[in-house]
C-alpha cells in the first residue's frame, strides 16, 4: 500500500500504524470512534428493552401501522417474451392487485402491551424455560 500524504492513515483505519494480526485484516472503522458501541443506548440490550424505551420516551405517538386487504383484483394480461434464439412467444399471465384500506395506527404504549401479551403467551407455552430457545414466526405476505 502506497504511503498517504504526510503518512496519515485513512479516516477509516483506526490503527493504521499497527500491523494487521496474522491471517486477518486491520480493524477499520471511523477514526473518531475509538470505543465500539454495543447497544443503541445505555441499558438497552434486548428487543424488550427497546420496546420499554420507546414506550417511555414516545408513549402516545404513532408507532406502527397496518392496512387490511379490502379486495383483490385479478387480471390476465398477454405478455410477449423474446427467447434466446430471437423468437417471440406470447403468454397469458395472471396478475393480482390489492386494494388496501387506510392505515390503522397503534401507539408505542399499545405496541408495548402487545409485546407483553406475546411474551406472556410464549412463556405460557414454555418457551425459554430450559435455557435459550430459538424459534421463528412466519406469516403470510401478500
- pLDDT tens per residue across span 41-59: 888 988 889 999 999 999 9
Position 9 in a domain: no
Span 81-128, pLDDT tens digits? 999 998 999 999 999 999 999 999 999 999 999 999 998 998 888 887
Position 18 in a domain: no
Position 110 in a domain: yes
CA 92/CA 80 separation, integer angstroms: 9
Confidence band for 1, pLDDT divided at 50, 70 and 90: very low
CA 68/CA 99 separation, integer angstroms: 9
pTM, rounded to two decimals = 0.59
Domain with 93, as residue range(s), is 39-123
Position 131 in a domain: no
Q: How many domains does one find in the chain?
A: 1
Position 24 in a domain: no
Position 95 in a domain: yes
Position 91 in a domain: yes
Position 108 in a domain: yes
Amino acid at each position: 500500500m502506497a504511503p498517504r500524504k504526510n503518512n496519515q492513515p485513512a479516516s477509516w483505519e483506526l490503527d493504521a500504524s499497527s500491523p494487521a494480526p496474522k491471517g486477518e485484516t486491520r480493524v477499520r472503522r471511523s477514526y473518531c470512534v475509538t470505543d465500539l458501541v454495543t447497544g443503541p443506548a445505555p441499558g438497552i440490550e434486548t428487543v424488550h428493552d427497546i420496546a420499554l424505551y420507546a414506550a417511555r420516551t414516545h408513549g402516545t405517538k404513532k408507532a406502527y401501522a397496518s392496512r387490511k386487504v379490502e379486495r383483490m383484483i385479478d387480471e390476465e394480461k398477454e405478455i410477449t417474451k423474446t427467447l434466446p434464439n430471437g423468437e417471440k412467444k406470447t403468454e397469458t399471465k395472471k396478475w393480482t392487485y390489492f386494494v388496501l384500506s387506510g392505515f390503522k395506527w397503534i401507539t408505542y404504549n399499545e405496541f408495548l402491551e402487545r409485546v407483553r401479551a406475546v411474551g406472556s403467551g410464549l412463556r405460557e407455552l414454555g418457551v425459554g424455560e430450559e435455557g435459550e430457545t430459538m424459534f421463528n414466526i412466519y406469516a403470510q405476505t401478500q
